[in-house]
Structure 1
């Protein structure tokens, strides 16, 4: 994962910088969302519950919030107040536009599970979490079968 995000600044829930090297060896979900988006506000709590459940037994899972917010303050508030304890790409980082294009994100919320080299393992993780997220462990195992 560090290859895909090399040189990109990441931040934690406290809006403090985080080195992308922390993603080494992690299964990463890119979460494309925004605070102004009603469907995002409906899905984010589900993702947060799923993330917290998976992290209990699989610390190798990480989510990165890729914001579509229109202002830095909007991103920071939405991230700090509504997201899980995952990471985010700061507002204005050019990599956001690259990721949107690379993963052909047309609508939000959207989520991709990706390999360290950036290949997509799960194209529509959002729908999978909504439909199968009540059994996080089974869904995790399903994802890993594609990951390997």
Structure 2
């Protein structure tokens, strides 16, 4: 993912901006497709946040990138700041958003893909896996993912 998004800005919780290529280098990346106006997204986001916080303690190499389907910048930022974990997002209006949606064939939200540095998909439906297995035993799910990652 770091190679695919090199040169793309990412925003952090504190409002600062980093280059995706360097920031994601060496990390296992989950692309999270969501929007503030989407009720199923609002239901899943707290589960992802809980999973993320548990996994991050033992696997600091895990990073989530929020790819918003919001229609306005303020909606994206408020949703991110109020409901999401300590991860990153691609700023509203960035051309990479449409590219990523198309590349990973995201038709509905919420959706999540776990991606290798070169952009190859490791887990196509990480959302369902987190919902079904990730809260109860996040470490076991992580190990499943890593078996496909290498």
1:140 aligns with 142
Q: How many residues were matched structurally? A: 148
> Are the counterparts in 2 of residues 14 and 80 from structure 1 also a CA contact under 8 Å?
no
- Aligned counterparts of 1:125 and 1:70: Cα–Cα separation in 2: 24
- Aligned counterparts of 2:83 and 2:24: Cα–Cα separation in 1: 22
TM-score where L is the length of structure 2:
0.97
- Aligned counterparts of 1:8 and 1:129: Cα–Cα separation in 2: 27
1:6 aligns with 6
1:19 and 2:11 matched: no
| 3-state SS of 1:101 partner | helix
TM-score where L is the length of structure 1:
0.98
- Aligned counterparts of 1:125 and 1:3: Cα–Cα separation in 2: 21
CA RMSD across the alignment: 0.6
| 3-state SS of 1:24 partner | coil
Runs of 4+ aligned structure 1 residues displaced above 3 Å come to none
Unaligned runs of 5+ in 2: none
Query: In the TM superposition, what whole-angstrom CA distance separates every residue of 1:82-110 from its partner, at most 9, and x where no partner exists?
Result: 00000100000000000000000000000
1:87-126 mapped onto 2 (5 Å cutoff)? 87-126=88-127
Shift in Å, 1:13: 1.0
1:47-66 mapped onto 2 (5 Å cutoff)? 47-66=48-67
User: Does 17-26 or 126-135 show the bigger shift?
Assistant: 17-26
Unaligned runs of 5+ in 1: none
